[in-house]
Structure 1
């Protein structure tokens, strides 16, 4: 045991630049590892070229899947591809609340149950057809369709009046949605009034005329998912339109001359997939104008003189998920398994305490990642509970919890058996990607070994992004715990990730108290921000106690931008955050 640990730690020391040594000098690390201040907007104020071309790097170690439709996609790479040609009808502000600045305006009824959207004049799909109110209706018809197998039939869809009956195949109409004769206005009525209407409502239309009509039998859901209409030649009403796709590798966009806001600044955008290992060289050579920069490469990125680095705290977090059950496709619910290896919450609490996330953030990521404490991010200033401190690195506390749970080393091999005295091996799934993926996974495995838990990588290796999520989502019995990440979206409601009916709830955790609090957080009472804050504070405390997942880090998102780029910002409150104004100077 001691020899194995020494060999592992020796290799880690080489790979992660004395990570363990820095761990033993935590106080010094805290003094020197301070996240720097970053700008949110580029400094170049020169006029944009009339017909410039910008190259956008999608930094990924795996091809993008290419499901280019909001109803059916699953991964963030596809979302990145869609941002240039696809939009919601309603815009949002810096607090992620809907506004009237988008392609439609809205009004809400006095009882807070009905929202009415009116599409502005001149809003057209990139093929010249008008965007219709029935195109938004079609999105809801797809999301709620009995044959829909995606993961987005969540509360803000099921709460539409009449949606459950439609979803169960009892009717072909959604009684809570009505469209005006002139196709400019759509009214959506919800069964329960909810403040999530202001931040989580679906307003992305789907071009029925382009992809075909499920409601008439012209196509099936299965036809759409595999169709070239969303994989090779999708359309939107955003500032650019796709003219060529090399599947998984690159996309060429051209200016959408009929864009409703006005003529976009750029003539064309080239999006290409670039590996995390290559991105700094690509930026240095000027082969990409905009790209995310892996935090572990920040020090080297600072030396590239033809780019500026913008950054802000991201709307995402990394976590360790514990497999506690399975998804029941028949009922559309998560089901706990009382015999899961990690069913005892004290073991999960111990595993969180055993992880030295602080040192990883400070040393490997130069202070650009910091320990996550709660499942509602600090960006949601009204709802993040700062009094929840997470479970800081504390191996002795972890050992005490494991002892209390009856997980003790019976045979003296250095690893604990389970509460029944059986050999315990926990199989850990983690993704490949970037030079730090393997060492971080191994470091956590060593952290757990330090408290007596025998954790091994599933199949002895890391897994590619798409296959990793396929296995996690399918509840592969080989996986006991996994490392993943979430982008939270704009609605603080966590039900879409942790609810009983949430397909994204990959831990499969459920409890009556969780149901109660999630329902209360989107109830009519929750229009009172103080009430909603209290509910979400209680929910954060519940998740801290039950630990279905252990959040490991919040992070800064770093964006490298070539100094020729103008009118670009990562501030969501800025007009320069919209791709149609981005440009390049001479």
Structure 2
């Protein structure tokens, strides 16, 4: 084996990566070895260093109107599928959130409240929820949002011609939904329109998730979509160019992939927005700092954590942060998706089928050091697939594999992965050449060096891991190929937003299209079902179930989480009433955004 040589190479690449991650201004000095270092490179930040809501210490008053400039940080164009029922990528939902919204509000614990555009009543004995849409909730064209509109979104997603990815456990538990999806019924028997503003949904299985963001709470304007074939909706102008919502701002114009201009919705149900409008534009991570410094943009959806240390004292912005409901991870391709049956099919002969190979690869990477050195503590070692954004369910006591190269080598040796040919790389237990094809996304200063770090880490234990086609993939292409189970991909580095409800079925269930690892097992099915059972209305029972599920996934490793992260945003000084997460827990809503002057402040 070439382990000792690889360790030396790994040390060199780590040194070079850490220099890249910490480059920039700052006071310099010498460390104990006489090497030059910056203050930013040495400082480790924590989530506790930041507020979640924009403060107003200068006492400035908001002006009437004004246009806010929002930066969507991305190195690629947005796809432009601008409807909650059809979008797939986070860039598109960032655009949607300005002009459309959920009918149900949530609090800081992600439980539904009565503060949204619709209120609700629960009948646990009957297994139903009845929703009432407020009388003053209207679409942007002035038509009222009705119970028929809400039902229509369920009919579209449940339709056999639906080409999106939403149809899953959130829908199949509704009485009559599967019969409708299988074309055995023309209607969904479990959804009733009681009157123009009242909708009742009855469930075959009433679960605790239904009270915590487990209801599909996004309506579609039926009067606009009803004559469009379901198969054609996702490509229609009402989704791509002229979307209509019920939110505080209306879409005025779109430059596909580049920008969106919004004007205020004077008829917004919470009240007339303070701003006249919003201009959203895609901002490359490489120029986000310059755009903030010169006042071209007022705020960003997410500031690159690797660029924060050298810009922490930017004079014209305030940095806010919260624990993100997301994590990055390494996923192993273990099967395929059966579109007809809409379920995962495991492949026992998949290249990554051996859990010991997957376990060794987890032990080979030092994620805590990656978080400290690449992101100065703003990302940190992840242990389980339920992140600490859900503190009642994240089990921090679980002992996940930690960085241990010696143990990784031992695991591979004992599993029969040996260097038969003497070329420094291990063959599989049958003596066949083992080349592991790794897909990773482009984006930001650290994307390529981080991917190279993982490759070099696996190289250090004798595994020949290569980037697919020798390069990083842009966002849309990456997820298209991962979702399509491209045979050229064996492992991939992805990221998941877990949403408000802790239930992981939508990402790791047998019938979840988002289960990109294509892993399924009877025990996984059982645990996920227990988390949605009647017994799980007892919070302590549900916590125990999800602790066991986290432990189970740590043992079986269809994917391993790499980093939890802070969601870091930068907000220009002229902006008021901005929260990292607009939710009832902050008592701040998007329509309350305001500015104190016409133009953004530039940095001194």
Contact 2:105 2:584 in 1 (8 A): no
CA contact (8 A) 1:346 1:401 kept: yes
Q: Which residue of 2 aligns with 1:190?
A: 203
Q: 2:244 aligns with which of 226, 235, 240?
A: 235
Whether 1:164 aligns to 2:175 is no
Shift of 1:30: 12
Equivalent residue, structure 1, for 2:25: none
Aligned pair in 2 of structure 1 residues 347, 580: CA closer, same or farther (>3 Å)? Answer: same
Q: Is the 8 A contact 1:568 1:576 kept in 2?
A: no
Query: What does 1:91-490 align with in structure 2 at a 5 Å threshold?
Result: 91-111=105-125, 113-181=127-195, 183-199=196-212, 200-210=214-224, 212-213=225-226, 218-291=227-300, 292-490=302-500
The answer to whether the Cα contact below 8 Å between 1:16 and 1:439 also exists between their aligned partners in 2 is no
- Aligned residue among 498, 501, 504 for 1:494: 504
Deviation at 1:340, TM superposition (A): 0.7
Is the contact made by 1:374 and 1:389 (CA closer than 8 Å) also made in structure 2? Answer: no
Secondary structure of the residue that 2:69 maps to in structure 1? strand
RMSD over aligned Cα, in angstroms? 2.1
Is this contact kept in 2: 1:417–1:424, CA < 8 A?
Answer: yes
* C-alpha contact 1:567 1:576 (8 A) present in aligned 2: no
Asked if 2 retains the 8 angstrom alpha-carbon contact of 1:334 and 1:509, the reply is yes
Asked whether the 8 Å contact 2:335–2:346 carries over to 1, the reply is yes
> Are the counterparts in 1 of residues 101 and 246 from structure 2 also a CA contact under 8 Å?
yes
Shift of 1:323: 0.4
The answer as to whether partners of 1:432 and 1:462 remain within 8 angstroms in 2 is: yes
Shift of 1:18: 8.0
Q: 1:518 to 1:193 in 2, by over 3 A?
A: same
Partner of 1:39: 51
**2:492 & 2:382 partners in 1: Cα distance?**
17
CA contact (8 A) 1:517 1:539 kept: yes
> What SS class does the counterpart of residue 149 from structure 2 fall into?
helix
SS at match of 2:297: coil
Taking the aligned partners of 1:421 and 1:33, their CA distance within structure 2 comes to 45
Task: Report the TM-score when normalising by structure 1.
Answer: 0.95
1:581 counterpart residue number: 592
CA distance in structure 2 between the partners assigned to 1:369 and 1:112 by the alignment: 44
Residue pair 2:420, 2:431 contacting (<8 A) in 1 also: yes
Q: Deviations over 1:215-246 (max 9, x none)?
A: xxx22122211111111110111100000111
Deviations 1:134-158 (A, max 9, x none): 1110111011111112211121111
Shift in Å, 1:46 = 2.7
1:65-84 mapped onto 2 (5 Å cutoff): 65-84=79-98
Alpha-carbon distance between aligned partners in 2 of 1:13 and 1:143, rounded to the nearest angstrom:
49
Offset, 1:14:
3.2
d(CA) in 1 for partners of 2:565 and 2:100? 27
1:15 is displaced (CA, Å) by: 4.2
Residues 105 and 119 in structure 1, CA contact (< 8 A), matched pair in contact too:
yes
Offset, 1:8:
7.3
Cα deviation for residue 31 of structure 1 reads 9.1
Partner secondary structure for residue 258 of structure 1: coil
Are residues 272 and 532 of structure 1, via their aligned partners in 2, closer, same or farther at CA, if it must alter by over 3 Å?
Answer: same
Query: Could you list the runs of 5+ residues in structure 2 that have no partner in the other structure?
Result: 23-30, 598-604
Q: Following the alignment from structure 1 to structure 2, what is the Cα–Cα distance between the partners of residues 500 and 33?
A: 40
Aligned partner of 1:518 among 510, 528, 540: 528
CA deviation vs aligned residue, 1:332-358 (integer Å, no higher than 9, x gap): 111111111110111111111111111
Paired positions, count: 576
Distance apart, 1:402 and its partner CA: 1.0
CA distance in 2, matches of 1:316, 1:359: 19
Q: Work out whether residues 426 and 456 of structure 1, in 8 Å CA contact, stay in contact via their aligned partners in 2.
A: yes
Identify the range of structure 1 (412-421 vs 278-287) with the bigger mean alpha-carbon deviation: 412-421
